[in-house]
């Protein structure tokens, strides 16, 4: 029997006789797609979840893998493992390359996956503001592979500096430029500073890792633009205390293998980290629509594609016309749960819920292992208490009990000892 024939799985997981269950296809098992899939777990429908990776990734903690504080498996979990108990759900590993809207099928290479209702939740990718050539000169952070590649480059820079006879090259190797002062850039810069000043401090003989230069560049006038100004100022002070140099109000004008240029200033560096811009996945092209802000697919207030009530687009890939939302995990999760409710209501012949409404529970960012800023709107927290709130929130939202326990133990260990449990250089031999 073909994988995608119309059959209803029994509750034991075995495939039952053919049925008239509608086919729901979810593309992407990130925050949005997974929320939709888990909320549809009990609906009488054939659910197919397609992802090009076999794991769900908790992106907010990628920077901790990149800076050798956590291991990849701490922040990722197999999609099959997460959805394995849902008898109505199949998981398909493959990269979607298009959608045949008229034929109601998702294209996965030369395979066609038919659908009656489709949810697209394929997230975002990096954007270089029209300078795609900068991609080759910078490191970005979207996937586990990106994080381990960044960890490798950072740790290798210290190794090569230890081995270098050339003072200028040594300085270049020990200079790290983080481009983008949003939460990812702030968190990366803070973690890098701690890696250099504390965790690696005694590991080398010829170089002093504590002299490493970490420069954070933000084109806007302040860090963490989505936070209140007072919290941006707290974050800036905390980073300066960690020895991070800030360049605010100036954008990069050049990135190459030897460093970055910011207007008239040249910073020689072997490690440029890109945390500045994202664009939506190419779903707008698949659907043949004119993309909105950041390449997003314009959708209505019920998150469906105008004129196509059978197609929903959610999370970082979607933009509600007239009501843009930030590209954050809670938006994607709430939208995933919402479209599941719409689909379930249609299936049950009930009235669909009203338009999607985002509940903003607050904004969090951490700076190293002692500081964080938390903005709940009605309450703002800084310092250690904010760090605790941030830690509990992130552990709570991690998928799977094992991950939560592993990360709690790793963090506690790292906190008490300044240790770096995952300080491994992986990849080809040197």
Ligand X SMILES: Cc1cc2nc3c(=O)[nH]c(=O)nc-3n(C[C@H](O)[C@H](O)[C@H](O)COP(=O)(O)OP(=O)(O)OC[C@H]3O[C@@H](n4cnc5c(N)ncnc54)[C@H](O)[C@@H]3O)c2cc1C
423 three-class SS: coil
Asked if residue 122 binds ligand X (CB under 6 A), the reply is yes
DSSP annotation string for 264-275: TEEEE-SEEEE-
The answer to whether residues 350 and 341 touch, using CB atoms and an 8 Å cutoff, is no
The answer to whether residue 254 is catalytic is no
Return the C-alpha torsion angle 311, 314, 319, 323, nearest 10: 110
Nearer to ligand X, 29 or 207 (CB): 29
Binding residue (CB under 6 A) for ligand X from 26, 70, 105, 121: 121
Minimum CB distance to ligand X smaller for 141 or for 193:
141
Q: Which is nearer to ligand X, 212 or 329 (CB)?
A: 329
Among 9, 259, 277, 327, binds ligand X (CB under 6 A): 327
Q: Does 93 bind ligand X (CB under 6 A)?
A: no
Residues 132-151 that bind ligand X (CB under 6 A): 141-142
Beta strands in 32-116 (DSSP E): 46-51, 55-57, 76-78, 89-93, 98-100, 105-108, 111-114
Site string for ligand X, 270-309 (x = CB under 6 A): -----------x----------------------------
27 binds ligand X (CB under 6 A): yes
342 close to 148: Cβ distance less than 8 angstroms: no
Cβ 187 to ligand X, closest distance in Å? 7
Kindly state the smallest distance separating residue 401's Cβ from ligand X, in Å. Answer: 21
Asked if residues 159 and 250 have their Cβ atoms less than 8 Å apart, the reply is no
Burial class of residue 144 (count of CB atoms within 10 Å of its CB; 0-12, 13-18, 19+): middle
Q: Are 21 and 48 in contact (CB under 8 A)?
A: no
Which of the following is catalytic: 5, 159, 187, 265? 187
How far, CA to CA in Å, does 220 sit from each of 179, 193, 230, 259, 365? 11, 22, 16, 21, 18
Q: Would you count residue 390 as binding ligand X (CB under 6 A)?
A: no
Nearer to ligand X, 249 or 326 (CB): 326
* 32 is a contact residue toward ligand X (CB under 6 A): yes
Q: Which is nearer to ligand X, 259 or 336 (CB)?
A: 336
Residues assigned a catalytic role = 187
The site for ligand X (CB under 6 A) is made up of: 27-33, 50-53, 59-60, 62-63, 95-96, 121-123, 141-142, 183-184, 281, 315-317, 327-330, 332
């Amino acid at each position: 029997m073909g994988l995608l024939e119309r059959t209803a799985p029994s509750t034991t997981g075995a495939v039952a006789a053919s049925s008239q269950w509608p086919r729901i296809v979810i593309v992407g098992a990130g925050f949005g797609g997974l929320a939709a899939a888990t909320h549809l777990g009990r609906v009488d429908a054939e659910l197919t979840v397609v992802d090009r990776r076999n794991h769900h990734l908790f992106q907010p903690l990628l920077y901790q893998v990149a800076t050798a504080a956590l291991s990849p498996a701490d922040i990722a979990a197999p999609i099959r493992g997460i959805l394995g108990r849902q008898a109505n759900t199949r998981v398909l590993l493959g990269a979607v390359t298009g959608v045949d809207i008229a034929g109601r099928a998702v294209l996965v290479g030369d395979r066609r996956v038919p659908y009656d209702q489709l949810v697209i939740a394929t997230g975002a990718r990096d954007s270089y503001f029209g300078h795609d050539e900068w991609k080759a000169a910078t490191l970005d952070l979207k996937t586990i592979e990106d994080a381990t590649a960044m960890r490798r480059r950072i740790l290798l820079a210290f190794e090569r500096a230890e081995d270098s006879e050339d003072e200028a090259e040594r300085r270049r190797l020990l200079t790290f430029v983080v481009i983008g002062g949003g939460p990812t850039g702030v968190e990366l810069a803070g973690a890098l500073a701690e890696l250099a000043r504390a965790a690696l401090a005694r590991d080398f003989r010829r170089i002093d890792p504590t002299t490493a230069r970490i420069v954070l560049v933000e084109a806007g006038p302040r860090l963490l633009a989505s936070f209140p100004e007072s919290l941006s100022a707290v974050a800036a002070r905390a980073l300066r205390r960690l020895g991070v140099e800030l360049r605010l109000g100036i954008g990069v004008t050049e990135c190459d293998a030897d460093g970055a240029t910011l207007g008239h200033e040249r910073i020689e560096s072997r490690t440029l980290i890109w945390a500045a811009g994202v664009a939506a996945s190419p779903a707008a092209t698949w659907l043949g629509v004119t993309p909105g802000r950041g390449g997003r697919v314009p959708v209505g207030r019920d998150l469906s594609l105008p004129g196509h009530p059978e197609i929903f687009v959610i999370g970082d890939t979607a933009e509600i016309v007239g009501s843009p939302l930030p590209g954050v995990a809670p938006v994607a999760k709430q939208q995933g749960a919402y479209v599941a409710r719409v689909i379930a209501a249609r299936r049950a012949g009930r009235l669909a819920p009203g338009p999607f409404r985002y509940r903003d529970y607050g904004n969090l960012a951490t700076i190293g292992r002692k500081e964080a800023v938390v903005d709940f709107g009605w309450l703002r927290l800084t310092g250690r208490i904010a760090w605790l709130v941030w830690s509990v929130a992130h552990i709570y939202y991690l998928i799977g009990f094992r991950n939560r326990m592993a990360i709690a133990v790793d963090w506690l260990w790292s906190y008490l000892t300044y240790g770096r449990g995952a300080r491994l250089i992986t990849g080809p031999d040197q």
